[in-house]
Amino acid sequence: MRSIALLLLFYSPICQGQLQTFEYANTTIGSGGFVRFNNFAALGQKNEDKVDYSDVRGSCFWDNEWNPAILILKSGKGFKLQSVKLNFYTNDIHYLDNKGTELVAQSSVKNIVFFDRNDTTKLKAVFQHLEGFKVKEVDSYAQLLVEGKTQFLKRKEVKLIKNKDTMLDHPDLKFVSDTYYYIEDSGNTIHLKNLNRESLLSVIKTTEEDETWLKANKNKLKNEAEITSFLTYRNATKK
């Protein structure tokens, strides 16, 4: 994943200045084109099977609210939609058509670029198809935390747990989630076994300058925020 910025030029001229840090070069938008959304069949959509999650504790969505987004297909085409959700339980991409019908995208989606629903000039999150990782034979998506030569990704996997409760006449249902982190470098995606210095440095090697920066910033690489900060610095200085 290397240059989404080209696609975003078609989304809103106001957005471009705020999104320059996201530089993805392999979207081939020039050949695929940006599709103003009037042909929902191009996503190979299916009607969403209505599953009642109201009796399930917790949430399976990245965000329970609908957000505007751009879907970038593996073919390079980009689709702008006003209402999109990402379901971590099914790994489906839900969206509303112009009649308000809820559908699920069936075409091969490479990237999902979410914007703030209250201010569409603000980028909210970017998800990318995680090569080699599927859940229930369905493509899974990871959130891009750091872009550049060395990428840092986060994937959530949601499961539905059924507990027998003798006080109820139906099972007690709840969503539980696990979080997985990955480093992608030179086309290789590696799962971090733990979110700490030892696990990260088993994947990448630090230089003397890196260690100086870590010490000066009191960064111990012990959590998501610290690893994000370090890799952002590292990518900026090692272009």
What does the alpha-carbon distance between residue 108 and residue 44 come to, in Å, rounded to a whole number? 9
What domain count does the chain have? 2
The DSSP output letter for 97 is -
For residues 216 and 149, membership in a common domain is answered with: no
173 band by pLDDT with thresholds 50, 70 and 90: confident
Q: How many residues comprise the chain?
A: 239
Helices 224-237 and 208-216 cross at an angle (nearest 10°) of 130
pLDDT of 38 over the 50 cut: no
The mean of the pLDDT values for the chain is 79
- 44-88 pLDDT per residue, tens: 555 555 556 778 889 999 999 999 999 998 888 888 899 999 999
pLDDT of residue 97: 84
Q: Per DSSP, what are the bridge partners of residue 138?
A: 135
The verdict on 148 and 44 lying in the same domain is yes
pLDDT in tens, 83-138: 999 999 988 899 988 888 888 887 788 999 999 999 888 899 999 988 766 555 55
Burial readout 67-93 (b: 16 or more C-beta within 10 A, e: otherwise)? bbbbbbbeebbbbbbbbbbbbbbbbbb
* Max CA distance (Å), the chain: 63
Please check whether residues 114 and 159 belong to one and the same domain: yes
The helix/strand/coil state of 91 is coil
Q: Is the same domain home to 180 and 212?
A: no
Q: Do 186 and 212 belong to one domain?
A: no
Q: What is the pLDDT of residue 19?
A: 32
User: In this predicted structure, what is the pLDDT of residue 236?
Assistant: 93
Encode pLDDT of 198-234 as tens digits.
Answer: 999 999 999 999 999 999 999 999 999 999 999 999 9
234 lies in which domain range? Answer: 194-239
- 3-class secondary-structure state, position 171: coil
Rounded Cα distance between 183 and 158, Å, is: 21
Residues 154 and 222 in one domain: no
**Does residue 183 sit in the same domain as residue 93?**
yes
Torsion angle of the four alpha carbons 91, 81, 119, 180, in this order, in degrees rounded to the nearest 10: 20
- Is the pLDDT confidence value at 7 over 60? no
- Could you tell me the end-to-end alpha-carbon distance of the chain, in angstroms, rounded to an integer? 16
Return the pLDDT at 51. 58
The answer to whether the Cα torsion of 40, 43, 47, 51 is positive or negative is: negative
Q: Are residues 188 and 200 in the same domain?
A: no
- Whole-angstrom distance, CA of residue 61 vs CA of residue 30: 32
**pLDDT of residue 157 exceeding 70:** yes
Is 25 or 34 the better-scoring residue by pLDDT?
34
Q: What is the pLDDT of residue 163?
A: 80
> Do 51 and 98 lie in a common domain?
yes
pLDDT, position 107:
74
Among candidate residues 192, 210, 230, the one where a domain is terminated: 192
Q: Which amino acid is at 65?
A: E
Q: Give the per-residue pLDDT at 186.
A: 81
Same-domain pairing of 138 and 89 = yes
Q: Is 112 in the same domain as 199?
A: no
Residue 216 has a pLDDT of: 98
Does the pLDDT at position 144 exceed 50? yes
- Do 187 and 202 have their domain in common? no
- Cross-strand pairs, 70: 80, 113
